[in-house]
Amino acid sequence: MTALVDARPASPADALVCRNCGARYPLGAQHACFECFGPLEIGYDPVALASVTRADIEAGPHSIWRYSGLLPVGQSTDTRVDSGTGMTPLIRADRLADELGFSAPIWIKDDSANPTHSFKDRVVSVAITAARELGFERIACASTGNLANSVAAHATRIGMPYIVFVPSDLEPAKIVQTAIYDGTLVGIEGNYDDVNRLCSELSETDEFEKTGFVNVNVRPYYAEGSKTLGFEVAEQLGWRLPPQVVAPMASGSMLTKIHKAFKELRAAGLVAEAECRVFGAQSAGCSPIATAYEQGWDVVQPVRPTGIAKSLNIGNPADGPYALDVVRSTGGAMAAVSDDEIRAGIRLLARTTGVFAETAGGVTVAVLKKLIESGRIDPSAETVVYNTGDGLKTLDAVAEGARPTAVIKPTIKGMRDVGLL
């Protein structure tokens, strides 16, 4: 055997670990445990994690890749897919805090500022980098909309062929934002759970052997991208954890990885020991995880999704039980809000902070309000609220009632006639 000299920095990841039974597997394109069929996640060498310093991170690029020492792939710039994702603004929202009766600061982590205008650029950057390193030749995904936008853009950038699958009844902006690129977009007559099931079946076929489905066979890598939402908030707060965070849930993956990021930062000694209570937000049209929370269940009963928060419409959420664990073990809570409350949440955030969120952001802000009113979140503890997508993606949800104050002739009289002078 010839020993190859590998000059690339080593990955701190050392195994795939079953989240149910703890079985360990070599790193690769595997997503379920052979022993118990449980989902796998990336395990790290604690020594490697502990060797990462704040100075290393601060000297890195102004993107999620500054955290490459805490991610499974992308240590080398020749495989890394870097579209400038991450380091999105953390906005102090004093007028929102005042209106909600918060005495501590509320911060909006505004992930609409990513290249394709949603948080999905984080998971896609890591998943496509992993797909390249694992030798896949094509990229695919099952999407509720934002993931399709991001996969299409990132695959296009590196010239990798792709095929993405979405429910055919998505918001027009999300269809256009994917179809504008040259790859293959398949609309499925069904909901996300139907799309996801089809993708699982396709990933087992010979024709798809060289295709990496970012959220199916590459899912353990994909999910790690969400950790950067936790890393950035800690760094932006001056290397400390916020006492409370509120995050939207579709499959529940993102919420669990924000928590994993905080754990890893503590373990690596990059932040002081501190607890962070994690709160989860869903829409009433699709609230299987929040319902299980309210009912005190450990299992999540699948539902048939409805309602305007389409990016969160996953009726059978893969990470639901893990999201329940995180929220319960940290002393957080979950809640669900109606479509009218979501619209009001979008307006409340816009009118107090200038941030225009998509429906998922409306869900999160409306849930924050509900948690305050029900006394389940502490208004004297600093809180980070994740806005995960841009309002331009879901204009129809609020277009009615968002019109010019007046339309007039270009004259002084015109202004007088409508009472603006």
Residue numbers at the binding site for ligand PLP (CB under 6 A):
118-120, 146, 248-254, 311, 358, 360, 388-389
For 27, which DSSP code? S
Evaluate whether 225 touches 258 at the Cβ level (below 8 Å).
Answer: no
Contact of residue 167 among ligand PLP, Zn ion, none (CB under 5-8 Å per partner type): none
Smallest separation (angstroms) from ligand PLP to the CB of 139: 17
Q: Measure the N-to-C terminal CA separation of the chain; round to a whole number of Å.
A: 85
Minimum CB distance to ligand PLP smaller for 163 or for 170: 170
Smallest separation (angstroms) from ligand PLP to the CB of 250: 3
Contact of residue 35 among ligand PLP, Zn ion, none (CB under 5-8 Å per partner type): Zn ion
Contacting residues toward Zn ion, per CB under 5 A = 18, 20-21, 23, 33, 35-36, 38
Smallest separation (angstroms) from ligand PLP to the CB of 253: 4
Contact of residue 228 among ligand PLP, Zn ion, none (CB under 5-8 Å per partner type): none
Contact of residue 20 among Zn ion, ligand PLP, none (CB under 5-8 Å per partner type): Zn ion
The DSSP bridge partners found for residue 44 are 13
Q: Is 163 helix (H, G, I), strand (E, B) or coil?
A: strand
Minimum CB distance to Zn ion smaller for 21 or for 267: 21
Smallest separation (angstroms) from ligand PLP to the CB of 248: 4
**CA separation, residue 370 to residues 27, 34, 341, 374 (Å):** 42, 42, 10, 6
Smallest separation (angstroms) from ligand PLP to the CB of 421: 42
**CA separation, residue 36 to residues 20, 24, 110, 381 (Å):** 8, 12, 38, 40
Contact of residue 118 among ligand PLP, Zn ion, none (CB under 5-8 Å per partner type): ligand PLP
Smallest separation (angstroms) from ligand PLP to the CB of 342: 12
Can you read off the two tokens belonging to residue 3?
């020993």
Minimum CB distance to Zn ion smaller for 219 or for 310: 219
Burial class of residue 210 in the structure, from the number of CB atoms within 10 Å of its CB (0-12 exposed, 13-18 middle, 19+ buried): exposed
Minimum CB distance to ligand PLP smaller for 107 or for 268: 107
CB-side exposure of 413: number of CA atoms within 13 Å? 1
Contact of residue 120 among Zn ion, ligand PLP, none (CB under 5-8 Å per partner type): ligand PLP
Minimum CB distance to ligand PLP smaller for 149 or for 352: 149
Identity of residue 373:
E
Residues 128, 419: Cα–Cα separation, whole Å: 55
Phi/psi at 157 (5° precision): -60, -40
**Other Cβ atoms within 10 Å of 294 Cβ, number:** 13
Contact of residue 33 among ligand PLP, Zn ion, none (CB under 5-8 Å per partner type): Zn ion
Phi/psi at 4 (5° precision): -90, 135
Contact of residue 18 among Zn ion, ligand PLP, none (CB under 5-8 Å per partner type): Zn ion
Q: Is 8 left (phi over 0), alpha (psi -120 to 50) or beta?
A: beta
Residues 231, 109: Cα–Cα separation, whole Å: 12
Smallest separation (angstroms) from Zn ion to the CB of 345: 38
Contact of residue 38 among ligand PLP, Zn ion, none (CB under 5-8 Å per partner type): Zn ion
Minimum CB distance to Zn ion smaller for 21 or for 180: 21
Minimum CB distance to Zn ion smaller for 19 or for 157: 19
Smallest separation (angstroms) from ligand PLP to the CB of 32: 17
Minimum CB distance to ligand PLP smaller for 33 or for 223: 223
Residues 262, 229: Cα–Cα separation, whole Å: 10
Minimum CB distance to ligand PLP smaller for 75 or for 364: 364
Report strand pairing: 244-248 vs 162-167.
Answer: unpaired
Q: Which residue has the tokens 């209106």?
A: 99
Residues 111, 230: Cα–Cα separation, whole Å: 12
Smallest separation (angstroms) from ligand PLP to the CB of 418: 37
